[in-house]
Amino acid sequence: MAKPHQMVYLVLGMAILIAVAPSISYGAISSPFKKSKDRSTAEASTRGASSAVFPLSGDVYPNGLYYVTMNIGNPAKPYYLDVDTGSDLTWLQCDAPCERCSKVPHPLYRPTKQKLVPCSDPICSALAQCDAAQCDYQVQYADQGSSLGVLVSDAFTLRLTNSSTVRPTLAFGCGYYQQLANPNAPAPTDGVLGLGGGKVSIMSQLKDQGVTRNVVGHCLGRNGGGFLFFGDDLVPYSKVTWAPLSLRHKNYSPGSASLYFGGKSLGVKQMDVVFDSGSSYTYFPSQAYQALVSAVKSDIGDKLKVASDDPSLPLCWKGQKPFKSLSDVKKYFKSVVLSFVNGKKSMLEIPPDNYLVVTKYGNACLGILNGSEIGLKDLSVFGDITLQDLMVVYDNENGQIGWIKTACDRLPNADSEGAGFGLDGLCRDILNEDCNIYSALFG
């Protein structure tokens, strides 16, 4: 879902699910599906919950997203899914048949008649008001992208940290009508992996089937890649900075925060914050954005000049010669700090590496944008750029969200086919005493 400017950046989060009747004006087609039997329980439901770990691909710049390979169906086929903690529904562009789809990396998912989720299924009730033989959906995103389709269910192949492989049957969207910013351009992914806390989320379904606990986390590599995990086997609870999940938002929010730059207050308090891996960049409401830009410009002075001819992002700077990497430019900038107004007084430091990008033009651009200009009002959305080289944990079991600094690219022995991988790099860095539980994954 590309936004304006030539750089591709996403705002998948804050998705809105809408009940769709078969007569909706755009895209509801006559489906060949009939009611299916209730979805089967996972093979691992009696084995006790475990965890699954997946390598990530992508980056903030120039790709503008991080995605994971998921193996779906029987026989299992790979699909690239955009990792989105800002929405609940997982969906694939789908041949049902497809009325409006873009070119995707893999052949379109093609469901069979037996895969349709019936109206009587509780997962459909949580998604929409259904009065037909099929469970239709429409999901819209903050960047005006959308997907319209029907809910289906199929097997997801997951390799767990207890060395077993399970194939739970999970419900997801079969999207046959997509509204994309540039529908003629090839899409980098086959769909979206919705990891929010709602009933239709993959995480909630895995929890209900006893496969994993309702804990999801990611570690987005600053130089690209990283990893995603389901379950809590990897979480170093005592080392993580925790904040209680705010009940004011349905999205993952650590609550309100005060804003600082270079150790000085910017006079912005009660900033509502949401973490959203489906957004490439970070968005501040207008007051906070203007205060930050003013402070940054004042601090830089005449050390750098504004690069008004760089179309990548709204605010860029240039030096005496083109910048080659962030190491060339970060010395000119200071850290942004968020102090959260909650019982634990949690703090999140955003170093220059986590709010700047060096573009192909050799300029340094601010990766914090004015969210009020795209309708986010008073909400602050922390996207991929700010979440880089942090292990971020969304703990729905205990109602908290946490983060810890780590190098997210230190994960050898990756299984690029999407089943999971060994974690010896992570063990060396932050898990230490818990590493014995992963020994079965190596080799």
Annotated active-site positions, please? Answer: 84, 276
* Three-point CA angle 238, 242, 245, nearest 5°: 140
3-state DSSP of 191-258: EEEECCCCCCCHHHHHHHCCCECCEEEEEECCCCCEEEEECCCCCCHHHCEEEECCCCCCCCCCEEEE
Cis peptide before 97 (omega within 30 of 0): yes
Rounded-to-integer distance, Cα 176 and Cα 266, Å:
47
Q: Which of 255, 257, 260, 282 is nearest to 271 (CA)?
A: 257
What is the residue whose two structure tokens read 């959308």? Answer: 146
| Bond prior to 62 in cis (omega within 30° of 0) | yes
- CA dist 210 and 432 (Å) reads 27
CB 38 within 8 Å of CB 121: yes
Name 394's bridge partners.
Answer: 216, 401
- Closest Cα partner for 135 from 269, 35, 11, 277? 35
From the centroid of its chain, how far is CA 442?
27
Contact call for residues 398 and 230 (beta carbons, < 8 A)? no
Strands of 19-121, DSSP E: 52-59, 65-72, 77-84, 91-93
d(C-alpha 172, C-alpha 180), whole Å: 19
Cross-strand partners of 150: 136, 174
Which token pair is 97?
A: 């048949």
Angle 375-252-91 from CA coordinates, rounded to 5°: 80
The three-state secondary structure class of 26 is coil
